[in-house]
Amino acid sequence: MNNLQNHFNLYIRPVLEANPFFKYVILVQFIGFFISLFKPVSDLLILVPSTLFHLHLWRLITNSFVERNLIVLLWSSYCFYQFILYIQPNWSVKESLKFIVIVQLSSTFLLVIFSLLLFISTSVVYTFYKIEIFGSCALAMAALIALKQFLPDTVLFTTPYGRLKNGHLPICSFFVFLICWIIGLVRGTVIFQIMLSLQISWTYLRFFQERGGMGEQVVGDRSEHFCWASFFPRIIQPFATLIGRFTFRSLHRFGLLKRVIGKEHLDYMQENSLQMEALECIQVKSVGTAVLAPEGWDSERKRQKALRMLNERLMASNAINASPENNQKQLHDSPSSPQLSKGFGGFEEEERPYKFAQFQQTLPPKDIEENNEELTAINIIDELNENEERR
């Protein structure tokens, strides 16, 4: 009984307490499934590319609530459940709606344009006048992309061949539906909707989503675990990297990544030594413009974290070494205790092993190198602090 209550509090209660709009999305999906059983009604809701030229604009919204395939329906419901459980509590309602609208409308428009171009090039009537676009599989794939960004290393289950993580779900879903399409279990438009959603949602989260961080609005997510190549197996990651670079350079060339951080915020960032990592990731282009550097923010954050860890290790080591020396000095200077001889314990005053210089001489070369790195980290941090005090 306690286990059932714990599972309810962990998996069900967050969904029930979510925003009503997101809470009823799954319910609307199942209602749309039953509506799709009545073809005259569903034909008024689904989108055919040619109907946009008749200004049937409501179909851009209503087509996402119609689903005739039970496999796609269950998969979409699972993806929405994961989004409501993990992503939506960390995003605002405005940001969630913005993400949904961008992915749904962009993928639909691109699919319509692709159908039109295919009709023009091949003169096949079916591609523009008969093909039906409906379902929420594009939004479901977008939810998996957001889940990969937020919790990429969460293990879902373990198999004899390896572990399946959240980061593997997008590409695994694509290949599973590709196999289902080949054997005739799902319609062909599902594959194109998933492909377009994968690219659009990743591009938005990677380069355009505004996030708070380091006292400043950070645009995009430049972390290594969210690069385009991370969606694919390691054997084909070098080829996938080319697509990610092409996307970044294309957006940069068209000016879509031009204004990220304003010039008026740079002075504030320079005055704060804790935000030096942000300055090194900014490339000033003009008086009022700045662009994210090709290298990510994540590497600079790790470098600063390593410096802090080295600082803490050295401070702890000095504290441990200083404690025995202070005790020895107190015994030597105490009037109530007998004076220690010069050669007490086999060491003279200059030969005490607690001295850092003497201790460093007894270390092997590897340990000496580590201590030198720690001293370098201390010098860097002290220099930053001195610059801060001068200002």
Q: How confident is the model at residue 391 (pLDDT cuts 50, 70, 90)?
A: low
**Strand ranges (E), 261-336:** 282-286, 289-292
Q: Which residue has the higher pLDDT, 366 or 181?
A: 181
User: Could you report the per-residue pLDDT of 167-209, keeping only the tens digit for each?
Assistant: 888 999 999 999 999 999 999 999 999 999 999 999 899 888 8
Q: CB 351: neighbour CB atoms within 10 A?
A: 11
The pLDDT value recorded for residue 106 is 92
Q: Does the pLDDT at position 268 exceed 70?
A: no
Q: Which residue reads 């001489």 in tokens?
A: 361
Which of 1.10.3470, 3.40.50, 1.20.1540, 3.30.70 is the CATH number of 2-226?
A: 1.20.1540
Taking only the tens place, the pLDDT of each residue in 120-137 is 998 888 888 888 899 889
Q: Taking the domains of the chain in order of start, what are their residue ranges?
A: 2-226, 259-295, 300-390
Q: What is the pLDDT of residue 344?
A: 40
Q: Which of 174, 203, 208 has its CA nearest to residue 191? A: 174
Q: Tell me, rounded to whole angstroms, the distance of Cα 55 from its chain centroid.
A: 38
pTM score above 0.75:
no
Q: Closest Cα to residue 89, out of 29, 14, 149? A: 14
Question: Per-residue pLDDT tens for 297-325?
Answer: 455 555 666 666 777 777 777 666 665 55
pLDDT band at 267 (very low <50, low <70, confident <90, very high): very low
